[in-house]
Amino acid sequence: MAVTQLTEEIVLAALGTVKDPELHRGMIELKMIQDVALVDPRTVAMRVVLTTPACPLKNKIHDDIDAALATLPGAPKAEIKWDAQVSRTGSIPQMQQIEGVKNIVSVGAGKGGVGKSTSAVNLALALAQLGARTGVLDADVYGPNVPILLGAEREKPYAQNDKIIPIQRYGIKLISIAFFIEADKPAIWRGPMLSGAVRQFLFDVNWGELDYLVVDLPPGTGDVQLTMSQSIPMTGAVVVSTPQDVSTADVGRAIQMFNTLKVPNLGLIENMSYFTCPHCGEREDIFGHGGAKMLAERMKIPFLGEIPLDRKIREGGGPGVPLMVTEPDSPLASVYRQVASQLAAQVSIRNFKQASVIPLRTI
């Protein structure tokens, strides 16, 4: 019996069976597998272009490609060069795009004190560490704590060519109302003033090229959330909760608010989910456990993960130095990267459903 000679056409036909595990469409069809070349009878080189550098299923994609190639004569292995092109949220009529910003992800909470700002900052840092160009807009005008968390409270942005230049910290860009008001002075503003400030931070800042702009919203449901949803095509919202009933009840209202405003709910995070004793290793569910996950299932939105209660998250490496910076290889930092990867995946799925075809650049 004649042995079939391996050709690039045969290889492409085999790779045509490989589907993106989240989008459930062929990766060849989506142009996510490119530059396929037969190096030798046992090696197939290719470039795999992911929809985000934070892809949580890279290993599965690699395994699926190897499995497809294993069906070919000689069972060649894949030699993959990984690349990423973050998908962009599509435009919406009557809404202004922010130049250079591909995705706007708002982080909200039904009530204060659940770790919303800390979650927003560490998720932004995790996305940046995974290779994404990331910025943070501190839109919590009543409690602008993001500069404190990033050690930037003494910084002063400046203007250039009629645009505000954001502060840069640990690989991310940052703008906050805290930079423009006196320290310890409350922002006693009515709705129109809030809306004007938020719009200025959106459109009068030179954000440059960003894959993700993470927006730290005020807690609850109010003018800032309404302005955001009516001003820009938001990719979606992430809601932070703690496990106990009083928090999940308020979070449920926040989720319903985003539904009413037609802002996609990208997922729910359970913060302060559990505590592990640093001395004996025993786990204790101080605030209960699983309330946010059950709420996510009931509201039919993704559950992005659990973040433990840990003193290191609060303290970081000192004032203004977050955990993701001081201990990037720690188990806690890994948790944030896992949650950030799940969030990035939901952004890609949302954009794919909106556009029906992923807008990848031609390389």
**Are 125 and 248 found together in one domain?**
yes
The model's pTM is 0.90
Domain presence at residue 89: no
Residue 270: closest CA among 296, 250, 232, 237: 296
Domain presence at residue 356: no
Q: Which amino acid is at 261?
A: L
Per-residue confidence (pLDDT) for residue 362, from 0 to 100: 36
Residue that is last in its domain, among 84, 115, 136? 84
Domain presence at residue 265: yes
Beta bridge partner(s), residue 284: 275
Domain presence at residue 2: no
3-state SS, residue 100: coil
Q: Give the Cα separation of 328 and 347 in Å (integer).
A: 24
Q: Give the Cα separation of 273 and 152 in Å (integer).
A: 28
**Are 71 and 204 found together in one domain?**
no
Residue 314 sits in a domain whose CATH number is 3.40.50.300
In sign, the C-alpha dihedral spanning 181, 185, 187, 193 is negative
Q: Give the Cα separation of 151 and 344 in Å (integer).
A: 26
Edge-to-edge strands, sheet with 104-109: 167-169, 172-176, 134-138, 212-216, 104-109, 236-241, 265-270, 303-306
Domain presence at residue 361: no
Q: Which amino acid is at 349?
A: I
**DSSP secondary structure letter of residue 205:** B
Q: Give the Cα separation of 312 and 331 in Å (integer).
A: 11
Per-residue confidence (pLDDT) for residue 184, from 0 to 100: 66
**Are 63 and 142 found together in one domain?**
no
Per-residue confidence (pLDDT) for residue 86, from 0 to 100: 95
Low-confidence ranges of the chain (pLDDT < 50): 1-3, 357-363
Q: Give the Cα separation of 215 and 224 in Å (integer).
A: 11
Domain presence at residue 177: yes
Residue 109: closest CA among 252, 226, 311: 252
The answer to whether 216 and 136 are in contact (CB under 8 A) is yes
Beta strands in the chain (DSSP E): 33-40, 43-50, 77-84, 104-109, 134-138, 158-160, 163-165, 167-169, 172-176, 212-216, 236-241, 265-270, 275-276, 283-284, 303-306
**Are 200 and 334 found together in one domain?**
yes
The answer to whether 132 and 52 are in contact (CB under 8 A) is yes
Count of structural domains within the chain: 2
Q: Give the Cα separation of 82 and 187 in Å (integer).
A: 46
**Are 74 and 111 found together in one domain?**
no
Q: Give the Cα separation of 237 and 231 in Å (integer).
A: 15
**Are 251 and 339 found together in one domain?**
yes
66 burial via Cβ count (<10 Å: 0-12, 13-18, 19+)? middle
Cα 157 to chain centroid, rounded: 25
**Are 80 and 113 found together in one domain?**
no
φ and ψ at 34, to 5 degrees?
-135, 165
The answer to whether 105 and 347 are in contact (CB under 8 A) is yes
**Are 19 and 120 found together in one domain?**
no
Residue that is last in its domain, among 84, 118, 149? 84
Domain presence at residue 30: yes
Instruction: Look up the domain containing 282 and give its range.
Output: 104-349
- Tally Cβ neighbours within 10 Å of residue 4: 10
Q: Where are the alpha helices (DSSP H) in 21-57?
A: none
Per-residue confidence (pLDDT) for residue 187, from 0 to 100: 62
